[in-house]
Each structure stands twice: as structure tokens, then as C-alpha cells.
Amino acid sequence: MITEFIKAVETALIEIEKFNPREVTIFHHNDSDGLSSGAILAETFRRKDFAVSMYCLEKPYPPLLKKIFESDGKAIIFADFAGRIAPLISGLNRGRNLILILDHHVAEKSTDPRVFNLDPELFGLKGDRDISASTTCYIFSKVWDERNADLSRMATIGAVGDGFFVDGKLVNANREAALEAERRGFIEITERDWGEEYILVHDSTRTSCREFGRYLDILGGVGYQEEGPALAVEACLKGSSEKTDNLVRRLKAMRKEIFEREIKSLRSGALEKTDHIQWFNMDSRFSPMGVKMVGIFCEEISSMDFIDKDRYIAGFQVIPDLIPGFGKIDIHHTKVSMRVPGHLRERIISKEALGLDQLLPEATARLGGFSDACHSLTAATVVEIGQEKELIQEMEKILNSLRR
């Protein structure tokens, strides 16, 4: 359990301590958990006099990994993703770089001794309950140096942001980090009838971790192609500022404007319909917002009056081939996000209709695309640009074959 995890961290730290030059490259996710993970790691390595390069990613897409692994002799860290693809990373690395994976999603073992997969899922902890990526990074940091216990504040921000609670409370490693932050006066924990509220204490101001998490999500998600992620990491470390407040305000207004424009266009005929599906292709019109936005947009329109209550909703958004700060990658893909409106939702829950977790990955696989997180009521996968219509047709084939 946690002791085995700590042992694995200690083994990896021996390699980090020996590592020369004292330079590290950190790739971290763009949601509140990934951003606070990035902030914890950056601070930890800087305190040990490492030069830190940071890149925020929406996902570790294969063409991006290929480009990362053109390098040799580097120390590279992945935070809040990559636990499951440790074997793929091992194959790309072949002993050349020192790699640390600090994730909490479902994990597979590394097959390269220079790739340390420190995903607590491999050590009996539950990444969707006990421990966030931020808490994983925090434990790594504290094992390295007890003085890093002050970073517990950011562990709590990420844990609350990912939203894994039992009876409204953080549990296990996440809760221990929160209690540490409370002891140090960085947060206050208040009992509510629904559970516990975690409140950030900053000088005379009080902000709930939930609210701050949403603030970070806007910076990292809506402001992904701008300086949002870098300012979010700064806000994790130093608290929000006038600069981040202004950016969040501007990003919210921009998202509202883009969403309203696109809803208007869907209302006036841009929403295509097949037997069971209503869909649209956003192309790059959500830019500079990140590709998470297409899912949020589908969710938002799912209860609107122009949406057919019995058809699945699908939306495509082109994955940008430019990683902010990192450069161009050889990717020509589009993300599809799916949601379900009210009536169909009930039918999926009662198993009268096919869930998205069965429909979308199957159709995607037939086209050679790759699947990501697919649940029965929300799902997303990736196909090549130009395959949009074909994917819809494949799903129709699956749905029509069920009717017979």
C-alpha cells in the first residue's frame, strides 16, 4: 500500500539525486489537479536547484510523445497522465532518459528500468478515491524533503478539483494532505451537513477550494492556447492576482461569446441529423480554447429546446497541432465528444438504449481511431480529420443492427 509506494518513490529519488545536469522537464495536465501537480513539482525541483522547463498538455498524444522522445539523457516527468501508457513510454525511451510518471489513473507497469511509474494505482491505492495526482506529487515531494510539507495546500486544491469524495469528504492520502495543510494554517476545514468544505486561507481572504479549482480550470482549459496554464501554475503557488483575475474574466466572456455564436448557428440549421444522432463539426472555431470545450458545449446544449430528446449528441473539435511553448507536432486529428439528452439518458440508464461506452469506442476502433475516457453517458474519442461523417455512419450501423 502506501509504504510500498513510498519505497518506489525513494528508489526513483536516488536516480533523481544522482542526475546530471540538474535540469528537469515537466509535462502536466491542464485541469486543476494537473495544474496543481505541475506547481508542486516545479517548486520541489527549484528548491533542489534544478532548472525547470514546464509544458502543459491536454493529453499525451502519440505524435507528441514521439517528439518528446527524440531527446536523450534528459530527466522528464509526466504528471496527472501517462500511468496507463508506461509500456508505450518504455518502448519509446529504451533506457535513454530518466522518466518519472506521477499519475493516479489506471496504470500499467513500466518495462524500462529508467521509466519509474509512480502511479499509486500500482501500489493498491485507488486513484479515483484515495489519491489525486496532486497528492501523488506532494508525497513524492515530501519524501524527498520533509520541508516540502508546506506544499500540502496545493495537494488539497488538486484533490478537491478532481472531486473524489466519500460522504462529501476527502479520504486516505488526500485527506492526510488536507489535514497537514490545515495544521499549517493554509486551509480551514468546515463541517457541513453534506460533508466537509475545504477553504483556502490567504492573508485575510477565504476562498473555497472548489471555487479556486474552477478558476484554475478556466485558466487551463479556456485559456489553454494562451498563457492560461502558466498563470494558473503561478496562481497555485502564490494565489490569484489582479492579472489572473482579469484573464479569468476575459476568458469567461470569450467562452460565452463563442458558445452563443455557435448555438445560434446550430439553431439555424448547422446541427445535422441522422436516424439516431444529432451532430456538428466545430472544426477550429473554438480556438484558442482547449479541446475539453467541445464536451462542455455538448453538455450545455443537451437540455436546450432545439435539441432532439431522443438522439445522441456528437460534436467534433480539431486538435491543434501546436503545443503552447513546445512547438508543432505531427497530428491531424479531431476529437469527438458525445453526450445524451434527457429522455435518451433515462433509456440508457434502464438499459433500453445503448450506452456511449459501447457505441463510440466500437465505431472509433472500426476507423482506426483511439479511445479515451468512455462512460455510458459521456464519452470522447479521437479520429482523423475527414472521418467525421464516416464515424457517424459507423455508429448508425451499430445502432441499426440492434433494432433488427
Q: What residues make contact with Mn ion under the rule CB under 5 A?
A: 33, 80, 133, 162
For residue 133, the minimal CB distance to Mn ion (Å) is: 4
Determine the Cα–Cα distance for residues 341 and 355; give it in Å rounded to an integer. 12
For residue 38, the minimal CB distance to Mn ion (Å) is: 11
Q: Which is nearer to Mn ion, 44 or 281 (CB)?
A: 44
Q: Which is nearer to Mn ion, 162 or 394 (CB)?
A: 162
Q: Which is nearer to Mn ion, 37 or 364 (CB)?
A: 37
Q: Which is nearer to Mn ion, 58 or 80 (CB)?
A: 80
Q: Which is nearer to Mn ion, 131 or 353 (CB)?
A: 131
Q: Which is nearer to Mn ion, 80 or 217 (CB)?
A: 80
Residue 145 burial (CB count, 10 A): 12
Which whole-number Å values give the CA distances from 63 to 34, 111, 333, in the listed order? 21, 20, 11
Q: Do the beta carbons of residue 232 and residue 220 sit within 8 Å? A: yes
Q: Do the beta carbons of residue 151 and residue 45 sit within 8 Å? A: no
Q: Dmax of the chain from CA atoms?
A: 66
Q: Which is nearer to Mn ion, 127 or 315 (CB)?
A: 127
SS3 content of the chain, % helix, strand, coil (to 5): 45, 20, 30
C-alpha cell at 50: 534544478
For residue 161, the minimal CB distance to Mn ion (Å) is: 8
For residue 36, the minimal CB distance to Mn ion (Å) is: 9
Cα 268–chain centre separation: 33
For residue 52, the minimal CB distance to Mn ion (Å) is: 20
For residue 15, the minimal CB distance to Mn ion (Å) is: 24
Q: Do the beta carbons of residue 361 and residue 379 sit within 8 Å? A: yes
Q: Which is nearer to Mn ion, 122 or 266 (CB)?
A: 122
For residue 37, the minimal CB distance to Mn ion (Å) is: 7
For residue 130, the minimal CB distance to Mn ion (Å) is: 12
* 205-208 and 195-202 beta bridge pairing: antiparallel
Question: What does 52-93 look like in DSSP terms, one character per residue?
Answer: EEEEEES---HHHHHHHTT--S-EEEEESS-STTHHHHHHHH
C-alpha cell at 300: 450545455
Q: Do the beta carbons of residue 248 and residue 287 sit within 8 Å? A: no
Cβ burial of 126 (10 Å; 0-12, 13-18, 19+) is middle
Determine the Cα–Cα distance for residues 398 and 404; give it in Å rounded to an integer. 11
Using Cβ positions, the residue closest to Mn ion within the complex turns out to be 33
For residue 33, the minimal CB distance to Mn ion (Å) is: 3
Q: Which is nearer to Mn ion, 159 or 323 (CB)?
A: 159
Determine the Cα–Cα distance for residues 276 and 282; give it in Å rounded to an integer. 20
Residues in the chain: 404
C-alpha cell at 151: 506544499
For residue 162, the minimal CB distance to Mn ion (Å) is: 5
Q: Which is nearer to Mn ion, 104 or 339 (CB)?
A: 104
